Amino acid sequence: MENVLLVRYGEIHLKGLNRPYFERKLVERIKFALRETGARIIYAQGRIYAWNIPENVKSSAIERLQRVFGIHSISPAVSVAKDWETICSTAKELLKDALSDGKRHTFKVFARRADKKFPMTSMEICCELGGYLLNEFDNISVDVHDPELKICVEVRENALLYTEEFMGAGGMPTGTAGRGTLLISGGIDSPVAGYMLAKRGLELSAVHFYSYPYTSERARDKVIELARILSTHSGEIKLHLVPFTDIQLAIYEKCPPKETTIIMRRLMMRIAERLAKADGSLALITGEALGQVASQTLQSLCVTDDAVSMPVFRPLIGFDKEEITAIAKRIGTFETSIMPYEDCCTVFVPQHPVTKPEVEDIRKSETAVDFTEMIEQAIKDTEVIELGRA
């Protein structure tokens, strides 16, 4: 008998001739996630197996795998010989552990015979093993529709038996969809936006703008921590920390007060686009939701996008705050996001920002200042931090 983690993937099954590419990427991410456990990763017959994981780290290994995009579910299983008596005795021990509370439970046997040379069909395994277990235990009954306990058997090179299934993150393996650059603030929304697109296979870079001394070192550290937490899901993140004070002061001194926020956003997008192209990113990512604040009206978003030629992805565009907050809590960024340290988007906020800007008006207002040298200096002074590497 040998313990193994059985890893299933979902959406990858829909791929055609390029399916092996996605499978290889998923195996790479699994190996990275379990690199400290000494696990041996094997792919065979549409399943991925993690062998040689010590019992004392099995729970943490499952938790790590639950963060790997592309995984549908994980089951801790035992591998035994394809001998019927061994299968029955192993199933009995597993069910005995599941019935340790002493209560009466319903159960069902699930079987999958991948090895067609095995003398029993999947249905015969279910019937025979279910009957055997019913005779062995007095406090169980069969429920084929909604059982409380499941005994699962997969007959492959060996027989794999398990009773639990832990759901994974789903999505596509990191790195299968190219690279995108996330504009990350210290708020709730942007880390969630990064998570949503990392789940679709994007590798992430990130750009954060800070305005010291108007924003504190704690605000900067907060964003670094948010990016670190995000990297536990997405994998490696290259975080760019851009000094924005001079540009922000020039905007608020020279540009019309009601337009300062939208002009600030446009300049952020331009700098982010420059850094994104240098990183090999093909799109920008923001955490904006339609109508949430003045800079997120449809007109404002159109004027913001006018500043760049790169596509801008907004995965939260149709979400409300409660939906975004629920995801933030689930992925572990919420408690850090609500720490009371302001970023540069929340200082110098005009009292009456424009909500329906016209692109020609904003372009004209921007000519009040030549931002060229300030942009070049901000890019030159940008600090880069690598997060999530081994």
Q: Are 233 and 67 in contact (CB under 8 A)?
A: yes
Determine whether 20 is exposed, middle or buried from the number of CB atoms within 10 Å of its CB (0-12, 13-18, 19+): exposed
Predicted local distance difference test score (pLDDT) of residue 13? 77
Predicted local distance difference test score (pLDDT) of residue 276? 98
Residue 239 exposure: Cα atoms within 13 Å on the Cβ side: 27
Predicted local distance difference test score (pLDDT) of residue 345? 56
CB atoms within 10 A of CB 300: 24
Residue 228: strand pairing partners: none
**pTM, to two decimals:** 0.90
Residue 13 exposure: Cα atoms within 13 Å on the Cβ side: 10
- Hey, what are 130's tokens? 């279910």
Ranges of the chain with pLDDT below 70? 341-351, 390
Q: Give the integer Cα–Cα distance in Å for 49 and 57.
A: 16
Closest-CA residue to 69 (of 116, 17, 10): 10
112-155 tens-digit pLDDT: 999 999 999 999 999 999 999 999 999 999 999 999 999 999 99
Closest-CA residue to 66 (of 38, 39, 34): 34
User: 3-state secondary structure string, 269-302?
Assistant: HHHHHHHHHHHCCCEEECCCCCCCCHHHCHHHHH
Predicted local distance difference test score (pLDDT) of residue 19? 87
Q: Give the integer Cα–Cα distance in Å for 164 and 75.
A: 6
29-79 tens-digit pLDDT: 999 999 988 899 998 877 899 998 888 899 999 999 999 999 999 999 999
